[in-house]
């Protein structure tokens, strides 16, 4: 049986989510229509909005539904109208949202450099928007967002937090982090792909990126994805339960890392000294590219990834690991293993055995040929 260990790319759809979406597919009304069918569709949207708000300690009115985390990030960065500072380990959807972002350094464990952030804020001529992710998608390293927000507010800056990887893995409170905007995505926690949200602090006005019919209180135009939103709500309802199960993932993660280190002493585990998500392992195998590792594991029935799923098709080293000080060769030899709600101890053992066997073949050069396409 194949083993799936790529939850940070997307998590398998939960049965409760599939049921909620099936019920929503039966609704034929447009949520903007005032007749009974439209009101039923609107009720499904608002019920999901309330559930998601509870799961992240936000007000329902602060939630704007989007097509996913990428759109949420773009709305935050492009809609603020301010110059932007981002951390050097942000997801590509943040990095590419603006042409001219300032970059905040991180340390060797991938934690944002607060002293450097203060320097950049102090040098700014106008108030900025600071965007720092809560948890990195490649390494799982968790950022001190509360400290980032406190520092930014001293300089009159707004703060956006990409929390796409955090929901359902660690406790998450929009109000507690004291940020102005937060991005979410459904499919990282067992919801459907193609739906997300940007939480916008009450009273903060953004320039809409997508315009048209005035949905989402004029903040994001477009007919609502009723089934997707209902599925998002069902997944969010399970977020607290998923967080409670996190210690089991930590045990599996730590077991994987201990076994890999014992078998391959020169393997590099990135972010190991920092606070991390419970489910994420980012490990480098010197001398073997991540492309070869991904292919070899896939042939053995084990699915992992080479960093971000959004950029894993590119033959370039990880910008995240480079920002942490890794060389090009080291960054190009790292893979990401991410666990989730269906992961078993047997899955972990299958990965350990397969990867360890690959590492042993490294010494005898019995590796698959690297693709040049």
Mean pLDDT rounded to a whole number for the chain: 94
Q: How many other C-beta atoms are found inside a 10 Å radius of the C-beta of residue 287?
A: 14
pLDDT in tens, 119-140: 999 999 999 999 999 999 999 9
pLDDT in tens, 139-151: 999 999 999 999 9
Residues 246 and 170: their CA atoms lie apart, in Å, by: 8
Residues 78 and 207: their CA atoms lie apart, in Å, by: 8
Length of the chain: 373
Q: Per the residue annotation, which of 28, 282, 310, 348 is the catalytic one?
A: 310
Name the percent of the chain in helix, strand, coil, to the closest 5: 40, 15, 45
E strand or H helix that includes residue 201: none
Residues 252 and 259: their CA atoms lie apart, in Å, by: 11
Q: Report whether pLDDT(241) > 60.
A: yes
Give the mean pLDDT of 161-169. Answer: 98
Residues 6+ apart with CB under 8 A from 173: 56, 57
Question: pLDDT confidence of 367, banded at 50, 70, 90?
Answer: low
E strand or H helix that includes residue 158: strand 158-162
The pLDDT, as a whole number, for residue 213 is 85
Q: Domains along the chain?
A: 3-10+245-363 (3.90.1150.10), 15-241 (3.40.640.10)
Question: pLDDT confidence of 337, banded at 50, 70, 90?
Answer: very high
Residues 138 and 47: their CA atoms lie apart, in Å, by: 33
Beta bridge partners of 184: 197
Any alpha helices (H) in 108-222, and if so which ranges? 114-123, 145-154, 174-177
Q: Is 365 a catalytic residue?
A: no
Beta bridge partners of 84: 129
Write the burial class of residue 283 (CB in 10 Å: 0-12 exposed, 13-18 middle, 19+ buried): buried
Residues 6+ apart with CB under 8 A from 61: 202, 217
**Quick check: pTM over 0.75?**
yes
């Amino acid at each position: 049986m194949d083993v799936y260990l790529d939850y940070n790319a997307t998590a398998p759809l939960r049965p409760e989510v599939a049921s909620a979406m099936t019920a929503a597919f039966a609704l034929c009304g447009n949520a903007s229509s005032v007749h009974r069918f439209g009101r039923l569709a609107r009720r499904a949207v608002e019920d999901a909005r309330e559930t998601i708000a509870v799961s992240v300690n936000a007000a329902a009115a602060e939630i704007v539904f989007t097509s996913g985390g990428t759109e949420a990030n773009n709305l935050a960065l492009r809609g603020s109208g301010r110059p932007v500072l981002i951390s050097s380990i942000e997801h590509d959807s943040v990095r590419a949202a603006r042409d001219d972002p300032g970059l905040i350094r991180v340390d060797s464990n991938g934690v944002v450099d607060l002293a450097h952030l203060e320097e950049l804020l102090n040098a700014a001529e106008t108030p900025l928007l600071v965007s720092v992710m809560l948890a990195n998608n490649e390494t799982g390293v968790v950022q001190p967002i509360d400290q980032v927000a406190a520092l930014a507010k001293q300089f009159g800056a707004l703060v956006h937090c990409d929390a796409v990887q955090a929901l359902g893995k660690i406790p998450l409170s929009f109000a507690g982090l004291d940020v102005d905007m937060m991005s979410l995505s459904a499919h990282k926690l067992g919801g459907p792909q193609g739906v997300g949200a940007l939480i916008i602090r009450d009273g903060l006005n953004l320039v809409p990126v997508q315009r048209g019919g005035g949905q989402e209180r004029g903040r994001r135009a477009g007919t609502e994805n009723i089934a997707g939103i209902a599925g998002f709500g069902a997944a969010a309802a399970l977020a607290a339960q998923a967080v409670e199960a996190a210690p089991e993932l930590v045990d599996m993660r730590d077991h994987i890392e201990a076994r890999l280190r014992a078998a391959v002493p020169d393997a590099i585990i990135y972010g190991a000294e920092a606070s991390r998500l419970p489910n994420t392992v980012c490990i480098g195998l010197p001398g073997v590219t991540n492309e070869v590792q991904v292919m070899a594991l896939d042939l053995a029935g084990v699915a992992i990834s080479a960093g971000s799923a959004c950029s894993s098709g590119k033959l370039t080293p990880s910008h995240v690991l480079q920002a942490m000080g890794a060389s090009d060769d080291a960054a190009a030899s790292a893979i990401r293993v991410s666990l989730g709600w269906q992961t078993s101890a047997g899955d972990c053992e299958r990965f350990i055995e397969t990867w360890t066997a690959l590492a042993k073949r490294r010494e005898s050069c019995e590796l698959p040929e690297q693709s040049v396409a």
